[in-house]
Chains A and B, each alone.
Chain A
Amino acid sequence: MDERTLRGKTAVAGIGETTYYKHGKSPDSEFKLALMAILNACADAGIDPREIDGFSSYSNDRNEPPRLAAALGCKELRFSNMQWGGGGGGGAAAAANAAAAIATGMADCVVVYRSLAQGQFARFGRSAPVKTISGEGALSIPYGAMTPAQRYSMKAMRFIHDHGIKQEALRAIALASYQHAQKNPRAVMYGRPLDEEKYDNSRWISEPFHLYDCCQENDGAAAMILVSAERARDLRQKPAYLLGAAAGGPYRAAATAGNTPDFGSSHFKTVAPHLYAMAKVAPKDIDVVQSYENFTGGVLMSLVEHGLFEAEEANEVLTLPNLVAGSGKLPLNTSGGNLAECYMHGLELHTEAVRQLRGASCNQVKDADVALVIAGPMVTPVSTAIYGSEAALG
């Protein structure tokens, strides 16, 4: 029996973004932003948008594939997919689902997309103005644990307690994103640097998270085009092959009211081993890491649970020089990520990984052949992916 794998079967052939805005500042509708990003990705790939026959998204996307296919005049729609649950945790799963459709002959050209215009819709960081609440929310919202920052801070707090993590480790993650964003003209925080003093003096949002430990909320859209590996080789861009992907969560991760058995976790402990097995890559082979920052504490746990270092090493490993492209052994979030480039639910982390493999990042890591992209941590399901260059295919 053939090995069941996605390794090397598909590649990202094109990436695209719109202008990134502060939340509520987009002059365009959310659906129009999605269309613009998709057209940009097609232009980057050199593919006619009418050839798109599949759409893959996540996080309760409001922009449905049938409408997109009709708006773009796609010749046919064969794959209409969205990852269930997990919000921004589904980003890598959306890429994996697209790749699976292509690898199994269900579609030929699939776009992975995300669009957000929070001026038109509710913000994620505000509580819904409802009079009553039932279900899972009733067990936490009346107690003021309403938003992701308030709920996930307690997961990070437990991990930090168990492993003696210092605030400086979280700070380094924030500083790295902001430092990278200063060289990225796409970044919303371009020209707005962060230093240790500014971080230390920033207000608490929900302990242990300061303001700068929390992601932005933004308007904009991003998209990337996946095709078969063979097709990608004939297109204009250097292919970024999907080496592996995995999604899911550990035992009863979705138990409510803080009852996830392994509570102080990013939820990657069971997922990352599947990723590495499929990609045939070990943590030491990874050249550059993009790790979804809903909150810096989630990045901390994600990196540990991906085996990049032990929890007990975190205070030594997580320093600014070590996380910056050029000087660092663990270049992290080289576009500025959710904290400082744009909160595009982490899809901007995938487009940045592709840029690294093309040698086209604003913060290029020398000879980057293997790029890890970790989607939103602490939710369920989470997901994670590894992309590689032609050299990494072996």
Chain B
Amino acid sequence: MTARPHYLPEGLPIPVAEPDGLSAPHWAGLRRNELSIQCCEKCSTWQWGPEWICHACHSFDVAWKPVRPEGRIYSWTRVWHPTHDALTNHGPYIVVVVELPHAGNVRVIGNLVGDVHQPVAIGTPVTGVFEHHNDADPAHSLLQWKVSGAAD
């Protein structure tokens, strides 16, 4: 695994599965460079965020399926005001909502890596970048995004 600089500084809350384990497969998937999203075994409806039931057909047989980490920017913001101690003096950063055409257009939230001052346009194709926090406790991984075709 190539070590990448983390987009945001250490010290932000670390994602973990709930006590009931609902989202555990998603976080485990990111550790092995896989985006896992829920898809109903019965009616094939994609669903995000995770839930114990398929909202379309009410089947409890909701599977986790790997999804190619490619999407489009559905919305975004550039955050300037730090609201967490770990972000004090860090400067602006970009948050994107990414629509996933390979998963029924469900959306995920992440950061757009690269120049924090870059212009951002809704509809821009983006590619996933797995960001591993191996030294964190607990170790975890995030899924970030870069404009498709842009250098890593």
Contact = CB atoms under 8 A, between A and B. Distances in A.
A259 B107 contact: yes
Nearest to A205: B81
B140 to A, nearest CB: 8
Contacts of B13: 127-128, 130-133, 137-138, 141-142
Given A257-B108, A259-B106, A259-B107, A142 B76 contact: no
B97 A126 contact: no
Interface string B116-130: 000000100000000
Contacts of B106: 259
B16 A206 contact: no
A206 B79 contact: yes
Q: Which of A132, A141, A143 has the most CB of B within 10 A?
A: A143
Given A144-B87, A204-B81, A155 B16 contact: no
Contacts of B74: 158, 258, 263
Nearest to B93: A144
Contacts of A256: 48-49
Nearest to A260: B107
Given A131-B14, A205-B80, A259-B49, A252 B55 contact: yes
Contacts, number: 142
B16 A125 contact: no
Contacts of A146: 83-84
Interface residues of B, number: 42
Interface string A261-273: 0011000000000
Contacts of B140: 142
Given A143-B142, A258-B74, A258-B75, A154 B97 contact: yes
Contact of B110 (A126, A143, A153): A143
A138 B50 CA distance: 11
Interface string B7-51: 010001111111100110001000000000000000000001100
A19 B89 CA distance: 35
A149 interface: yes
Interface string A71-101: 0000000000000000000000000000000
A140 interface: yes
A259 B142 contact: no
A167 to B, nearest CB: 14
Contacts of A206: 77-81
Given A126-B83, A154-B97, A264-B75, 11 more contacts: A126-B84, A127-B83, A136-B49, A144-B111, A145-B79, A146-B84, A158-B74, A204-B92, A205-B80, A256-B49, A263-B97
